[in-house]
């Protein structure tokens, strides 16, 4: 190891031909102002146009109309409109919406009961005769007492009658099955 060469290799140098390198233009210095002269005054910037309120920023809230006999409900303020584009008028904002309780609708218990019983009567496929009869009865009561719930009682009547038809056909099938089974059996004693 005593014979090892501890010298550092030489650093490469750039080529001697500098004509191939890019030429950098000289930097020009601005002319000096005469001594005692005031610096030039820049013109003042134009006054900025009034900015439109940011989206969601509170605007002048317009209270919702109050119906007689009801207290005013708190709501959200009105949303501002979009800013006007050059040559077009500004669009109005959305009005403020107040949340209020909805009045309860009329009772629909008989009609809903008819619909549920009719569906259950069909699902029992023949064994739901009593349930289907109850659906038809409550459907006709709902038709008389709750004419505004037509969708419910009409569904109850249709499914109730279909359930009765399925139950009657199932009953006829089982009666015919047992009659045929009893008449065709031969007992040899």
pLDDT in tens, 72-113: 556 666 666 667 777 777 767 667 666 666 666 788 889 999
DSSP assignment of 12-62 equals P---S-GGGSPPPPPPPPPPPPPTTPPPPPPPPPPPPPPPPPPTT----PP
Residue 168: the pLDDT is 92
pLDDT (tens digit, 9 = 90+) per residue, 46-66? 666 656 666 666 655 555 565
Asked if the model's pLDDT at residue 175 lies above 80, the reply is yes
- Mean pLDDT, residues 23-41: 64
So where are the chain's domains? Answer: 109-182
Q: Phi and psi for 75 in degrees, rounded to 5?
A: -145, -175
Question: What's the whole-number average pLDDT of the chain?
Answer: 76
pTM of the model: 0.45
At 6 the pLDDT is 72
The residue behind tokens 């009765």 is 164
Of 143, 92, 86, the closest CA to residue 113 belongs to 143
In the numeric block, the tokens 């008819």 are attached to 114
The pLDDT, as a whole number, for residue 11 is 78
Element containing residue 143 per DSSP (H, E): helix 129-145
Dihedral sign of CA atoms 151, 154, 158, 161 in order = positive
């Amino acid at each position: 190891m005593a014979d090892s060469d501890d010298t550092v290799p030489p650093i490469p140098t750039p080529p001697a031909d500098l004509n191939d390198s890019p030429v950098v233009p000289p930097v020009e210095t601005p002319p000096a102002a005469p001594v005692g002269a005031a610096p030039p005054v820049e013109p003042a910037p134009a006054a900025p146009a009034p900015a439109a309120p940011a989206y969601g920023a509170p605007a002048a809230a317009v209270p919702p109309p109050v119906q007689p006999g009801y207290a005013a409900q708190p709501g959200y303020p009105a949303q501002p409109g979009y800013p006007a584009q050059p040559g077009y008028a500004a669009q109005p904002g959305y009005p403020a919406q107040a949340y209020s309780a909805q009045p309860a609708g009329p009772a629909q218990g008989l009609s809903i009961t008819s619909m549920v019983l009719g569906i259950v009567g069909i699902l029992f496929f023949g064994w739901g005769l009593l349930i289907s009869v109850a659906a038809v009865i409550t459907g006709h009561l709902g038709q008389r007492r709750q004419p505004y719930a037509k969708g419910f009682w009409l569904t109850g009547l249709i499914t109730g009658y279909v359930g009765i038809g399925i139950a009657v056909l199932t009953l006829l099938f089982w009666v015919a099955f047992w009659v045929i089974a009893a008449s065709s059996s031969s007992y040899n004693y």
